[in-house]
A = this chain, B = another copy of it.
Amino acid sequence: MPTPKLKDIADALGLSYSTVSRALKGNFRISEETRHKVNEYAAKIKYIPNIAAQSLRNNRTRSIGILVPNISNNFFSEVLNGIESAGYDKNYQVIITQSQESGEKESKNIDTLMSRAVDGLLVSLSSTTLNAEKLKAIHESGTPVVFFDRVCSLFDTYKVVSDNEGGSYKVVKHLIRNGYTRIAHITSSPEKSITSERLSGYQKGLEESNIPFDASLVKYCVHGGMLPHEVEKSIDELLELDPWPGAIITASDRITIVTMASLYKRKIAIPEQIAVAGFSNFSVPEIFAPPLTTVKQPAFEMGKIAADLLIKLIESKKPVANYEKIVLPTELTVRASTALKMAPVG
């Protein structure tokens, strides 16, 4: 049997298309009685509106396009869960594309999504995005764009980020409190918004304790740890210093993994010889040996908020004037990998 249509309901109930349609959409001058009858019958025959017809008529697809660097990353996959959750509530479909940190692929993905006529775009930029002109044009021509995590300042729109500065500030203060003074930072590519924010929190933390900033303690990984080699190299360089840094703050899960593994391999004891703390969204930081001190970003929440804002933009008739930048708090969880520093053994 074919799928039920509006017509089937109308015929069965002796009503017109319009009445049925309006009854299903809720209040529009339809009597309570009729509405009830319609909904009941619709449920009975398992009526599902034809999305294509709705899209055609309404010029809206009820879908939103996502641009992320990579889905196989705990942070982003959690963000995606948040987005999905918001989309599910409001009946929006989510179409995910990955840039794999390539600005070129990102640009192609934008084209694909636009040809799919998504109603809005949720974007976390790749680390090699040169310019976001295309997104600007899209936003200005009426398809709203909302940024999360990796934002850009080319144009004004909603932006949802975590308090990167505060996060690194907190972890630096914690390390200092626990007796560490030479604190290294292995981070992502310097162009990213998150990188500079974290660096600034790091510097602020040091400054407050009158520890001079030492540029040789900050290492950048252009590929954000996608290439383990990058991270290894950073560690090599840090271990050439004399004395070694007492602690390392890592900027992502991938960097953290490689760092920990590299220290194991060199038989460097954590935290006795070098403490480690990381920006991380691992579901179980306890799996590390020792359990890892983390700065956790509210990934799920970030996704949910960003998606809610985007949908709000999509559904608002008038253009929004005052876009906000939402900054979500980060959470420091202290574990054994940054335990109180002991006086050097021997």
Binding site for B on A (CB under 8 A): 48, 50-53, 55-56, 61, 70-74, 77-78, 80-81, 84, 88, 93-98, 112, 114-117, 228, 257-258, 261-262, 264-265, 284, 286-290
* 9 sampled A-B residue pairs with Cβ under 8 A: A50-B117, A52-B55, A52-B117, A56-B56, A84-B98, A93-B112, A258-B287, A261-B288, A265-B289
Question: Which residues of B lie under 8 Å from residue A50 when comparing CB positions?
Answer: 56, 117
- Do residues B56 and A53 form an inter-chain contact, with CB atoms below 8 A? yes
In angstroms, how far is the closest chain B Cβ from the Cβ of A52?
A: 4
Tell me, in angstroms, the Cα distance from A96 to B94 when the chains sit together.
8
Question: Which residues of B lie under 8 Å from residue A287 when comparing CB positions?
Answer: 228, 257-258, 261-262
Contact of A51 among B81, B84, B115 (CB under 8 A): B115
Question: Which residues of B lie under 8 Å from residue A61 when comparing CB positions?
Answer: 51-52
In the complex formed, the residue of B with least CB distance to A111 is: B48
Question: Which residues of B lie under 8 Å from residue A78 when comparing CB positions?
Answer: 72
Contact of A96 among B51, B96, B258, B262 (CB under 8 A): B96
Task: Point out which of A71, A78, A97 has the most chain B C-beta atoms below 10 A from its C-beta.
Answer: A71
In the complex formed, the residue of B with least CB distance to A3 is: B117
Question: Which residues of B lie under 8 Å from residue A286 when comparing CB positions?
Answer: 228
In the complex formed, the residue of B with least CB distance to A77 is: B72
Task: Point out which of A70, A71, A80, A287 has the most chain B C-beta atoms below 10 A from its C-beta.
Answer: A287
- Known: A51-B115, A56-B56, A228-B287; 16 extra A-B contacts, CB below 8 A, are A50-B56, A50-B117, A52-B117, A55-B55, A70-B77, A71-B72, A71-B80, A72-B72, A72-B73, A72-B77, A81-B98, A96-B96, A228-B284, A262-B287, A264-B264, A264-B289
Question: Which residues of B lie under 8 Å from residue A72 when comparing CB positions?
Answer: 71-74, 77-78
In angstroms, how far is the closest chain B Cβ from the Cβ of A160?
A: 20
Tell me, in angstroms, the Cα distance from A85 to B64 when the chains sit together.
20
Question: Which residues of B lie under 8 Å from residue A264 when comparing CB positions?
Answer: 264, 289
- Do residues B289 and A51 form an inter-chain contact, with CB atoms below 8 A? no
- Do residues A88 and B117 form an inter-chain contact, with CB atoms below 8 A? no
A52 touching B48 in the complex, CB below 8 Å, given contacts A71-B72, A228-B287, A264-B264 = no
Tell me, in angstroms, the Cα distance from A51 to B51 when the chains sit together.
11
Tell me, in angstroms, the Cα distance from A2 to B172 when the chains sit together.
53
In the complex formed, the residue of B with least CB distance to A65 is: B93
Tell me, in angstroms, the Cα distance from A228 to B342 when the chains sit together.
31
Tell me, in angstroms, the Cα distance from A117 to B115 when the chains sit together.
18
Tell me, in angstroms, the Cα distance from A264 to B81 when the chains sit together.
32
Q: Which 4 A-B pairs have the closest CB atoms?
A: A72-B77, A52-B55, A264-B289, A52-B56
In angstroms, how far is the closest chain B Cβ from the Cβ of A225?
A: 10
Contact of A117 among B51, B80, B94, B290 (CB under 8 A): B51
